[in-house]
Structure 1
Amino acid sequence: MEAAAGQAEEAEPGSCFLDRFRTERYEGAFSAGSWEQEFDKIPLFMKQSPAEIDPEQNPDLACLQSIIFDEDRSPEEQANTYKNEGNEYFKEKNYKKAVISYTEGLKKKCSDQDLNAVLYTNRAAAQFYLGNYRSALNDVIAARKLRPNHLKAIIRGALCHLELKNFPEAVAWCEEGLRIDSKEKNLVEMRAKADRLKRAEQRDIRKAQLKEKKEQSQKEALLAAIKERNIKLFLEASKEEDEISHGLGEMSLNGLSSDSAVGTKVCLDDNGKVNWPVLFLYPEYGQTDFISAFHEDSRFIDHLLVMFAELPPWDLERKYHPGNLELYFEDEAREEMYQLNTQNTLLQVLQHQRYFVKAGTPTFFVLVKHSPFSKNYFFGKKVHRLK
């Protein structure tokens, strides 16, 4: 009985300990809601290491890293460790960290040139997947300085040139690689693609050159026709009247913008006649009309008859009839107005000594004869009438 009692007395402390374990929180225990995140902070069980390690916040991890990258080890050993770390990041498709690791390995400046070439080539691969093609190309060039026949570097260099649309260079790199290994499938396929794209690019360049030459020839012919007709063009960059080119004698080929204010072009037809984009302004109603190709030999009245065959909806007073209209152009330099004869052709008006074509688009004002608006519009202005 005494022995039994003694055993019971000894068991009591253990029972109390278990009771306390059930009711009291263990110091340093994981919390129920975030135990997975806390577990992941233990270096041995980390799925990914943080980009930057603070020794004060993560002393265990800092200690492990110092063991892995011990400065007492040789530069070759350290560089190789960084290479392996970069390879692991590369497998995980974490190319940014892979670039950092390979860069750290290169910083060790080890004497193993083969290892340095691999570090450059691997960093080039990571840069390539990040879309940094020029950086990748610089790395493979550096790798080939160390190992000229490094086939992986040549393949990746050809890929970079292909992405950068340097097709002749891509072909040249492929050919260099095929001299090392004539059966390398990647190089064979890449060379065929680069050669095809190179020929297409050269064809496009030839087409563009021919087009430019043709356009230049057409522009020269157009300028010659305008000069022959003694039509004066207003230079946008000029503000003084004496800088206006008479007969284009001082104008370069780029002096005439054949693009009009509304996007169409002055052009020569097959018979050597000039067709102009012409703008009509109706200041009374703030309206406009645009004729994209007004033949220089066409009369104004012919266009008015077509334009006003039906009265426009904005003509509320029903007064814009072809025979009831007057046309004017403005001499901005002298602030004067000139009334046209609607029987005149466009060429006859453009050849007037005071008419200057601005922005490649002849412009004319349309007003109703003897209307109150016309009288107010011309108040204080000098008006000339053409025959």
Structure 2
Amino acid sequence: MALDSDSDDGMDAFMDKFKAERYKKALNEDNWEEELDRIPLFMKSIPDEIDPMKYPDLACLQAIIHDDDRTPEEQVRNLKDEANEYFKEKSYEKAVLVYTAALKRNYEKNGDDKDTNMVLFTNRAAAQFHLGNIRSALKDAAIARKLKPDHLKALMRGAQCCVELRQFAEALWWCDEGLKVHPTDKKLQELRAAADKQKRAAERDARKSKVKEKKLLGEKKALLAAIQERGVKLHQPDKPQHGSDSEDEDGGSSVAMAVLSLDALITQEATGARVFLDEQGVLHWPVLLLYPEHQQTDFISAFCENSCFLDHLAVMFGEELPPWDTDRKYLPQNLQVFFEDAAERLYQVNPETSLLEVLQHKRFLVKAGSPSFFVLVEGSAFRVAFLKGRRLM
């Protein structure tokens, strides 16, 4: 299969560059035999004395092969030094792995070497901290402090972890424990001051949040009381609605009021609008108008309960009709409004009726805090098809 022109051009450019550039890691043309003899695989003989600077690969292999010949202390020290190098290079994941290996080796060979374990746990805590594994770092710092209660680095690291976790009271405890044995340490003093400042700020924010939450709860309760007084019923998703006429013949004052919930007055995620009570004690609802013939919608963010549907329809379909109404038939006088109950039965609404009167209908349920209505054109073929097979009350 032939390559396209772009692929051909790219390959030609690559080959030209490949031919022009020299391989930077290739053996030197003048002394390639000497360099090849330094690679363990191609060595003709092993030198008596292995200089790590001259034979780094061979020295590495020798260290691996003869590691068991070293004392346990040397093995642990080598692992610790290797981990420290990784840490300096900011290769924190590798540092954690090697510190862990050093700890395992030290427990196996020198179980009572608490000082070395303390250093390894402290260093691993630092690596974990830089990786963002704050809880693991705090755990290591706590073990290091247990091994040596006055170890400054462990105390500092424990306090820093607590600050990162926003556990400011615990951070202050770590600082205070450290200042007992290192009372003049400036870094520890600065860390304590910062932790104390953040603790006070967090407490202040918590108080403000509590006041705001209490105020919001009060507003919601007032809103709920206003809805209850009007006899408006809210649909509760987890409560099955059977839709029988007998369950609410009195207008819903008893049974339906029991299902009213503050959770039903949720903020509309898509629009940010919700039902609210104005200073005059009038309710305003977010209302959705559906035009199924054209799969279009209108959202009225604040439909006053005392306004009628015709007020809004006259504005939306007044002098300028929407572009999707190509037949120019969505005139206010031609429109009919319907709502659907829990049993999917349709009820026609007089456009001159106020929103409150419709919401007080014994079959109307407000779903998700937003009443919705169908809008159809009187006498249209779509209206006939839409209502066919549906129960129109």
- Aligned residue runs from structure 1 range 103-182, under 5 A: 103-107=100-104, 108-109=106-107, 110=110, 111-182=112-183
How many correspondences in the alignment?
344
Contact 2:275 2:284 in 1 (8 A): yes
Contact 2:338 2:347 in 1 (8 A): yes
State the distance in 2 between where 1:294 and 1:220 align.
Answer: 21
Structure 1 counterpart of 2:387, one-letter code: F
Alignment partners' CA distance in 2, 1:49 and 1:132: 34
Q: Tell me, what secondary structure is at the counterpart of 1:235?
A: coil
Partner of residue 45, structure 1 = 52
Match for residue 368 of structure 1? 377
The 1-side partners of 2:220 and 2:310 are apart by 30
Q: 1:353 aligns with which of 359, 362, 365?
A: 362
Would you say 1:273 and 2:282 are equivalent positions?
yes
Amino acid across the alignment from 1:209: K
Shift of 1:254: 4.5
Gaps of 5+ in 1: 1-29, 51-57
The secondary structure found in structure 2 opposite 1:234 is coil
Give 2:324's aligned amino acid. W
The reply on whether 1:194 has 2:195 as its aligned counterpart is yes
Partner Cα distance (1:96, 1:37) in 2: 34
Equivalent position of 1:24 in the other structure: none
Give 2:293's match in structure 1, choosing from 284, 288, 300. 284
Kindly report the root-mean-square deviation, in angstroms, between the aligned alpha carbons of the 2 structures: 3.2
| Superposition map of 1:220-231 within 5 A | 220-231=221-232
What is the letter of the counterpart of residue 45 of structure 1? P
Q: CA deviation at 1:345?
A: 0.7
Q: Is the 8 A contact 1:300 1:344 kept in 2?
A: yes
% identity of equivalent residues: 49
- Equivalent position to 2:258, from 231, 238, 250: 250
Indicate conservation of the 8 Å contact 1:83/1:101, yes or no: yes
Tell whether the 8 Å contact from 2:38 to 2:55 is kept in structure 1 after alignment. Answer: no
Distance 1:229 1:347 in 2: 8
Q: Give the equivalent residue in structure 1 for 2:267.
A: 259
Q: 1:242 to 1:365 in 2, by over 3 A?
A: closer
Q: What whole-Å deviation, never above 9, does each CA across 1:222-279 have from its counterpart, x for those lacking one?
A: 2222121111222223444169994443326345143347432112222222111111
Q: Partner of 2:314 in structure 1?
A: 305
Query: Which has the higher mean CA deviation after the structures are superposed, 229-238 or 76-85?
Result: 76-85
Matching of residue 95 in structure 1 with residue 92 in structure 2: yes
Q: Are 2:326 and 1:316 aligned?
A: yes
What is the alpha-carbon distance in structure 2 between the residues aligned to residue 84 and residue 47 of structure 1?
Answer: 21
Unmatched 5+ stretches in structure 2: 1-26, 44-49
**Distance in 1 (alpha carbons) for counterparts of 2:33 and 2:337:** 86
Candidates 334, 347, 350, aligned match of 1:338? 347
Deviations 1:289-315, CA, capped at 9 Å, x for gaps: 110010111122221222222222222
Q: Which has the larger radius of gyration?
A: 1
Q: Is the 8 A contact 1:219 1:253 kept in 2?
A: no
**Partner residue in 1 for 2:46:** none
Kept after mapping to 1: 8 A contact 2:144/2:154: yes
Paired with 1:348 and 1:277, the residues of 2 have a C-alpha distance of 16
Partner in structure 1 of residue 18 of structure 2: none
What's 1:70 paired with?
A: 69
Instruction: Report the alpha carbon displacement of residue 68 of structure 1 after superposing the two structures with TM.
Output: 5.3
Q: What corresponds to 1:326 in structure 2?
A: 336
Asked if the contact 1:336–1:383 (Cα under 8 Å) also holds between the matched residues in 2, the reply is yes
Secondary structure (helix, strand or coil) at the match of 1:241 reads coil
Residues 48 and 354 of structure 1: is their aligned pair in 2 closer, same or farther, counting only changes over 3 Å? farther
Deviation at 1:203, TM superposition (A): 2.2
Matches within 5 A, 1:1-20: none
Name the SS of the counterpart of 2:257 in structure 1: coil
Which secondary structure does the structure 1 equivalent of 2:258 belong to? coil
On the 8 A contact 2:282/2:304 being kept in 1, the answer is yes
Shift of 1:38: 7.3
Q: 1:379 aligns with which of 376, 384, 388?
A: 388
* CA distance 1:91–1:38, change in 2 (3 Å): farther
Question: How many angstroms apart in 1 are the aligned matches of 2:280 and 2:33?
Answer: 87
